[in-house]
Chains A and B, each alone.
Chain A
Amino acid sequence: MSRAPSAADRHLPLACGALGLAVLGHVGVLPTWIGLLFIVALATRLLGVLQPRPILRRTVLAVFALGSGVVVLANFRTLNGLTAGTSLLVAMAALKVVETERPRDYATLAFIVFFLSLASLLRAPSPLRLAHALACTWLGVQLLLETQRPAAASPLPAARQTARLLGLGLPLAVVLFIFVPRLEGRFWAVPSGGSEATSGVAEEMNPGAIAKLALSDEPAFRVRFDGPLPERASRYWRVLALDAFDGQTWRRSALAATLAPAEPADSRVAVRYSVELEPSHQAWLPNLERLVDWSGVRARRDADGTLALQDNEAGQPQKVDSLTSYSARATPPSAVPTGELDATTRRRTLSLPSGSAPRSRALAGEMRAGSATSRDYIARVLGYFRTEPFAYTLEPPPLGPNPVDEFLFTSRAGFCEHYASAFVVLMRAAGIPARVVIGYQGGDLNAYGNFLLVRQSAAHAWAEVWLDGEGWVRFDPTAAIAPERIRAGLDGALPEAEARRYRHHFAWVLESRAALDALKAGWDRLVLGYSSRQQARLLDRLGWIGDPLTGLATLLGAGFALTALTLLTLQLAFRVRPRPDRVQRAWELACRRLARRGLARDPAEGPLDFARRVRTARPGDGAAFDELVRCYVRIRYERAPVAADTEEFIGRVRRFRP
């Protein structure tokens, strides 16, 4: 049994193109075997058009379908969730292509295209993906229209009709976007599946944790300042303070997570800024040091100064799963007076696991003995880092069971987390309360959008030390080894060989990246940031008093009615008076000019008759008008007029001044 090429096969290239484009939105997350299956299926079907081939029996297809389902299940341990579901859908689409035969099958493929493009938007609602979804929709609609089209017809009308349909749909989409009530939180509770990694700083710090982040160009958050931009060296964005150390890993203790005592608000010399935080899948909100207050989100401040997002109902910590904006105020470090460190926190921030880092403790004792004050000691420790041959590198040698000692005395090469960790251990060993702080340092000004973009590569770790009378004071040991890291960012600080491997140095790459990011920031603010609060503000501005839901429903209805009315009017207007083409417009212009001289053309009068009348009434213009009419008649009534005629005619009309 073999299949003869059917008339519906002519849709195949379009269908494969649309499907391929839709699958492109999921490249990188789909398992490789799905991609291979997809390509093989499409190629098989396309080759089948050229050469009749045996049909795959339904039973074979069924086995394939079942097998794909099982493999997807084995891959993801679930069929639910975005990636698993998409994988299954793509596999089934591939098999559907193989058995595609009738126009109905192509219609099914068109709907698969729609679904896949929507799923791609669920991954990340970015402008690029929106454009991709629009392109997919275009091809899908065109495919649906093509299946309704007789075989001989030209494909052009279908394309035109698609454009018209999408054009008609666009205003409705905008009305829906503006007036359909926005839901708080994530509307699509998409189970994100195990494979989606979290981004941003981790909740615990191992050696190497931040070095990994330093390779990521992903934006972490954007900041707009009210007023001047603080200088780079003071742009330390705190995310989390880690106070518990087990000899290997720094963690956050439960104590630190208790609610902060209410402090007297101090708004002297406040820096105001607003942050748009990319989804980090963690609760922490980055802020400048010494946060005064914040607005725009519900959050709690913990004893260690960490700000964590809360959900609206129970006050539980909530992860930042969608773009989140908030504004905050902070004071410069020196401005806040401080009280006493409570005993529990002091104990907590002095403790070291027993038996860990003996050589470091010995070094600390030695240096502490030679220093008069805590500040002297800190200066000596920083001096030690500066004078001893320490190296700043993204590729430190692996460390053994006692990483602090090994780092301080053997390898002497590391990244910020090594220095922060060793520094805090040296502080605690000398009886000075200290903790590790992780967050971001620096950020680049985007000249297009006038905002500060902080990328994941700006992730950083430093230390805070309790000084009596001064409170928690930031010390950054990395600045002692690689001051360029703080002054100019990571690029300047790395050894040249490493920098070349990890960084772009082309100006245009950086430039276009900045422009793209400004675009993305605008999109985030206008589209993704459009929330129920913005809707309420819109209602307010429109003067609506009362229940916002009723208001939105009314506006939605009104918007729909208005859109429908506009479209109807346009349609009627276009039907009643088709838009005359250039030639006709020019002809009417020439006739109007004659009418102004008292020689109006009767609408029912033919051009030659009119020319004759003009010749008799205005012999002076007769010859010029004759030529003009000859040209007009040639274009309008004779076989195969050429483009040059049109230009000549329009030129003659332009010169015709009776």
Chain B
Amino acid sequence: MTEPTPQAALSTAIGVLNKVILGKDREVRLALACLLARGHLLLEDVPGVGKTTLAQALARTLGLRYRRIQFTSDLLPADVIGVSVYDRETARFIFQPGPIFAELVLADEINRATPKAQSALLEAMEERQVTADGETHALPDAFFVVATQNPSHQLGTYALPESELDRFLMRISLGYPPAALERELLAGVDRREMIAGLKPVLSAAGLGTLQDAVRSVYLSDALLDYVQALIAATRADRRYAPGLSPRAGQGVVRAARAWAFLHGRSAVLPEDVQAVFVAVAAHRLQTADGAADPLDVGRRILGAVPTG
């Protein structure tokens, strides 16, 4: 059997993931697009809708080394990054890498940890390296953080500040599955066993190739006009205090490229932008009562800006 092309592997991966996470094709694709765009993903939802399952399944299928960090209120930065321990034989401190040295890190319930522990993770996400005891250690080439968080109004949470939310390319919610599929879920095999039985269809190297290919997806002037009009609309709308930043704009373009690539297109269309826009923009837009409601962003901005 010959090695499947990365493109073909990608559609296989989508099929596999859809078998694990039922009825969430769109969210699965968004999560994949996020990884293809080299972005970190924030899953926000109530407990028990399959956030962890999605992260694990992603790691298995894409063939990435996977570590999980359970964030708690007493978690210390060293628990994330690692510690230097004194080795008596060599009379030296030796760095013991923490769980962050993996290719896909699941930061579970990130908003349960204190801001200090959160910032340790978020620094690593931005720099793709960690510094302990004055020494800098590079993280693997493929390095993704999938963080999950409970809606911030739940008890015992520390909401992420907006500057740190900005580190996540996308924020998505899974929500409950449709009734028929939920029934299938209830009747079917245990998801944990299912994940254990998953075979990787890609590797970190294969993913890297795909990520490079995403960057060559073409952006036409007409499309950039459209993206700029969207960004301008968020800035002109008085409900969103500062509007989208230039970095957020870059994020929209990156995500849209990945989405187009995922759908086998060599150029980005307005539909690609529309598909990713809410996931990329909603958590960066602030309204008076916290982050903007995704439904609102979709209706107000996407519905008001002509595609040109």
| Interface presence of A639 (CB below 8 A) | yes
> B248-290 vs A: 1/0 string, CB under 8 Å?
0000000000000000001111110010000000000000000
Size range of the chain A interface in the assembly: 10 to 19
| Interface presence of B194 (CB below 8 A) | no
Instruction: Give bound CA distance, A604 to B267, whole Å.
Output: 19
B25 smallest CB distance to A (angstroms): 16
Q: Ordered nearest first, which 3 A-B pairs have the shortest CB separation?
A: A603-B306, A606-B271, A606-B270
| Interface presence of B93 (CB below 8 A) | no
25 intermolecular pairs with C-beta atoms under 8 Å apart: A584-B308, A603-B307, A604-B302, A604-B304, A604-B305, A604-B306, A604-B307, A606-B269, A606-B270, A606-B271, A606-B274, A607-B270, A607-B271, A607-B307, A608-B271, A609-B271, A609-B274, A633-B267, A633-B269, A636-B220, A636-B222, A637-B223, A637-B268, A638-B220, A639-B220
Residue of A nearest to B219 (CB): A637
A625 smallest CB distance to B (angstroms): 16
Instruction: Give bound CA distance, A483 to B57, whole Å.
Output: 116
Residue of A nearest to B222 (CB): A636
| Interface presence of A605 (CB below 8 A) | yes
Residue of A nearest to B260 (CB): A637
List, in ascending order, chain B residues with CB within 8 A of A639's CB: 218, 220, 266-267
B11 smallest CB distance to A (angstroms): 19
List, in ascending order, chain A residues with CB within 8 A of B242's CB: none
List, in ascending order, chain B residues with CB within 8 A of A606's CB: 269-271, 274, 307
| Interface presence of B4 (CB below 8 A) | no
Q: Measuring CB to CB, which residues of chain B are less than 8 angstroms from any residue of chain A?
A: 218, 220, 222-223, 266-271, 274, 302-308
Instruction: Give bound CA distance, A584 to B220, whole Å.
Output: 14
Residue in B266, B268, B269, B274 with the greatest tally of chain A CB atoms within 10 Å: B269
List, in ascending order, chain A residues with CB within 8 A of B305's CB: 604
Instruction: Give bound CA distance, A638 to B223, whole Å.
Output: 10
Instruction: Give bound CA distance, A606 to B226, whole Å.
Output: 11
List, in ascending order, chain B residues with CB within 8 A of A603's CB: 306-307
Residue in A603, A604, A608, A638 with the greatest tally of chain B CB atoms within 10 Å: A604
B296 smallest CB distance to A (angstroms): 15
Is A637 a contact partner of B271 (Cβ separation < 8 A)? no
Residue in A603, A604, A606, A637 with the greatest tally of chain B CB atoms within 10 Å: A637
Is B303 a contact partner of A604 (Cβ separation < 8 A)? yes
Instruction: Give bound CA distance, A587 to B242, whole Å.
Output: 35
List, in ascending order, chain A residues with CB within 8 A of B222's CB: 636-637
Residue of B nearest to A587 (CB): B308
List, in ascending order, chain B residues with CB within 8 A of A636's CB: 220, 222
Instruction: Give bound CA distance, A606 to B306, whole Å.
Output: 9
Is A637 a contact partner of B220 (Cβ separation < 8 A)? yes
Q: Measuring CB to CB, which residues of chain A are less than 8 angstroms from any residue of chain B?
A: 584, 602-609, 633, 636-639
B29 smallest CB distance to A (angstroms): 16
List, in ascending order, chain B residues with CB within 8 A of A609's CB: 271, 274
Instruction: Give bound CA distance, A609 to B268, whole Å.
Output: 14
List, in ascending order, chain A residues with CB within 8 A of B218's CB: 637-639
CB-contact partner of A638 in B266, B271, B274, under 8 A: B266
Main secondary structure of the interface of B (DSSP, over half): mixed
Residue of B nearest to A604 (CB): B303
B233 smallest CB distance to A (angstroms): 10
Residue of B nearest to A641 (CB): B220
**Given pairs A607-B269, A607-B270, A608-B269, 15 additional interface contacts (CB within 8 A):** A584-B308, A603-B307, A604-B302, A605-B307, A606-B270, A606-B274, A607-B271, A609-B271, A633-B267, A636-B220, A636-B222, A637-B218, A637-B267, A637-B269, A638-B267
Residue in A605, A606, A607 with the greatest tally of chain B CB atoms within 10 Å: A606
Residue of B nearest to A638 (CB): B267
Residue of B nearest to A640 (CB): B218
List, in ascending order, chain B residues with CB within 8 A of A637's CB: 218, 220, 222-223, 267-269
Instruction: Give bound CA distance, A607 to B268, whole Å.
Output: 12
List, in ascending order, chain A residues with CB within 8 A of B308's CB: 584
A252 smallest CB distance to B (angstroms): 79
Instruction: Give bound CA distance, A11 to B210, whole Å.
Output: 49
List, in ascending order, chain A residues with CB within 8 A of B304's CB: 604
B209 smallest CB distance to A (angstroms): 20
Instruction: Give bound CA distance, A638 to B221, whole Å.
Output: 10
List, in ascending order, chain A residues with CB within 8 A of B267's CB: 633, 637-639
List, in ascending order, chain A residues with CB within 8 A of B306's CB: 603-604
Residue of A nearest to B263 (CB): A608
Instruction: Give bound CA distance, A602 to B308, whole Å.
Output: 11
Residue of A nearest to B220 (CB): A637
Residue of A nearest to B302 (CB): A604
Instruction: Give bound CA distance, A605 to B303, whole Å.
Output: 8
List, in ascending order, chain B residues with CB within 8 A of A602's CB: 303
Instruction: Give bound CA distance, A607 to B223, whole Å.
Output: 12
B224 smallest CB distance to A (angstroms): 10
List, in ascending order, chain B residues with CB within 8 A of A638's CB: 218, 220, 266-267
B276 smallest CB distance to A (angstroms): 13
List, in ascending order, chain B residues with CB within 8 A of A605's CB: 307
Instruction: Give bound CA distance, A638 to B217, whole Å.
Output: 9
A445 smallest CB distance to B (angstroms): 61
List, in ascending order, chain A residues with CB within 8 A of B269's CB: 606-608, 633, 637
Residue of A nearest to B218 (CB): A639
Residue of B nearest to A584 (CB): B308
List, in ascending order, chain B residues with CB within 8 A of A608's CB: 269, 271
List, in ascending order, chain B residues with CB within 8 A of A604's CB: 302-307
Instruction: Give bound CA distance, A604 to B271, whole Å.
Output: 10
Instruction: Give bound CA distance, A609 to B275, whole Å.
Output: 11
B150 smallest CB distance to A (angstroms): 33
Instruction: Give bound CA distance, A606 to B305, whole Å.
Output: 11
List, in ascending order, chain B residues with CB within 8 A of A607's CB: 269-271, 307
Instruction: Give bound CA distance, A102 to B220, whole Å.
Output: 40
List, in ascending order, chain A residues with CB within 8 A of B303's CB: 602, 604
A612 smallest CB distance to B (angstroms): 9
Residue in B270, B302, B306 with the greatest tally of chain A CB atoms within 10 Å: B270
Residue in B222, B302, B305, B307 with the greatest tally of chain A CB atoms within 10 Å: B307
List, in ascending order, chain A residues with CB within 8 A of B271's CB: 606-609
A630 smallest CB distance to B (angstroms): 11
B214 smallest CB distance to A (angstroms): 15
A69 smallest CB distance to B (angstroms): 57
List, in ascending order, chain A residues with CB within 8 A of B307's CB: 603-607
Instruction: Give bound CA distance, A636 to B307, whole Å.
Output: 12
Residue of A nearest to B273 (CB): A606
Residue of B nearest to A603 (CB): B306
Instruction: Give bound CA distance, A44 to B222, whole Å.
Output: 50
Instruction: Give bound CA distance, A636 to B269, whole Å.
Output: 9
Instruction: Give bound CA distance, A633 to B260, whole Å.
Output: 13
Instruction: Give bound CA distance, A603 to B304, whole Å.
Output: 8
B216 smallest CB distance to A (angstroms): 10
Residue of B nearest to A633 (CB): B269
List, in ascending order, chain A residues with CB within 8 A of B302's CB: 604
List, in ascending order, chain A residues with CB within 8 A of B268's CB: 637
Residue of A nearest to B274 (CB): A606
Residue of B nearest to A580 (CB): B308
Instruction: Give bound CA distance, A638 to B268, whole Å.
Output: 8
Instruction: Give bound CA distance, A609 to B274, whole Å.
Output: 11
List, in ascending order, chain A residues with CB within 8 A of B274's CB: 606, 609
Instruction: Give bound CA distance, A636 to B271, whole Å.
Output: 13
